Amino acid sequence: MPGRRNLARERAQHDAVARFQTIHTQLTTALPHLDRAVVGRRRILAHLETLGVRRLNGQPLTWRIVNAWRTKHACPILRGNRSRCYAAPAVTTTHALTAWLLSAFHHGDVFRVTVTATFDPQASFPASGAGSSNRAA
């Protein structure tokens, strides 16, 4: 964008739905073997915790907040149902949640992303290039 940046214009031009669809398609085509169903409130909250997603004040998420994301911010979670005869848990996938998080305009609006205590910086690619030491000559 040439000239001065305009936050209101950038926010208006940000198409979160199209970005979600693009990112989700890329994840499912490139890494289909890593897509897993996440079933139940506790597992969905635990998965978001492993991604480092927290409340805006830094506290852990609650189901009430995540359920509000589903209705207000189009978070891709299929809500569960509870009746006298049966209970159906909430369901989502790892790729759908990851794509939704990455398609947000910025992470200070709805959620906060922090580095968790289990973060391992050695697990990422080395600075010299991905897999450069593993290549056969």
- CA torsion angle 101 103 109 112 (round to 10): 30
* Residue 38: per-residue pLDDT: 92
Of the two residues 95 and 117, the one the predictor is more confident about is: 95
pLDDT on residue 44: 93
**Which pLDDT tens digit goes with each residue over 91-112?**
999 999 999 888 876 666 777 7
Q: Say whether pLDDT at 137 is over 50.
A: no
- Given this model, what pLDDT does residue 116 score? 59
Three-state DSSP class for 5? Answer: coil
Burial class (CB in 10 A: 0-12, 13-18, 19+), 44: buried
pLDDT tens for each residue of 20-75? 888 888 889 999 898 899 999 999 999 999 888 899 888 999 999 999 998 888 88
The residue ranking higher by pLDDT, 69 or 119, is 69
